[in-house]
């Protein structure tokens, strides 16, 4: 595994729709392993392949199994060719940031619950029904695959304030 460079706006790959994955061979497995390592080192809770300049429909997400308990174990999702097939009527506005838009935060309205149809890293069908913050992370990362960055959806955007030596953690 290796850490790859995360590209930032205005890099054109971030504005293009990613290609569907058709080959689930060793190159994809290496890509996914590298994405997980890159996400963890960044640090972040999600990463889309086009954020490391690979325009393929692959995302990785790592979040607490129990959203209410930040001490609960982390669960890793590796998702290929994801599509949101169902959304809740309820939406929530909350603050997001992005590894590809460093130093910027914004308020984004997202669905509270979604259904995602996809494939796992081996190409097998996968259905997920994330809710709450996990649903927000999935929507954020799937947007990347469509060439959409959170600032495109944000109602308000602002520069993050930091003090010298402070590390800003990407909160989506």
Residues with a known catalytic role: 141
Overall size of the chain counted in residues: 172
In angstroms, the CA 3 to CA 113 distance is 31
Q: Do 38 and 4 touch, CB atoms closer than 8 A?
A: yes
> Going along 15-160, which residue ranges are E strands?
46-48, 58-64, 74-87, 91-97, 104-111, 114-119, 125-128, 154-159
Tell me 56's DSSP state.
Answer: B
């Amino acid at each position: 595994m290796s850490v790859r460079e995360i590209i930032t706006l205005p890099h054109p790959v971030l504005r293009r729709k990613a290609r569907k994955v058709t080959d689930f061979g060793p190159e994809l497995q290496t890509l996914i392993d590298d994405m997980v390592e890159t996400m963890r080192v960044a640090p972040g809770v999600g990463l889309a392949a086009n954020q490391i300049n690979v325009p393929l429909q692959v995302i990785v997400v790592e979040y607490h199994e129990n959203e209410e308990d930040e001490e609960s174990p982390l669960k890793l999702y590796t998702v290929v060719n994801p599509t949101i097939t169902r959304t809740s009527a309820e939406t929530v506005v909350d603050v997001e940031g992005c590894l590809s838009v460093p130093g910027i935060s914004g308020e984004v309205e997202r669905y509270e619950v979604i259904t995602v149809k996809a494939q796992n890293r081996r190409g097998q069908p996968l259905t997920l029904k994330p809710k709450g913050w996990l649903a927000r992370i999935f929507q954020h990362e799937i947007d990347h695959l469509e060439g959409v960055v959170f600032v495109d959806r944000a109602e308000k955007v602002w520069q993050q304030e930091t003090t010298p030596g402070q590390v800003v953690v990407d909160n989506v």
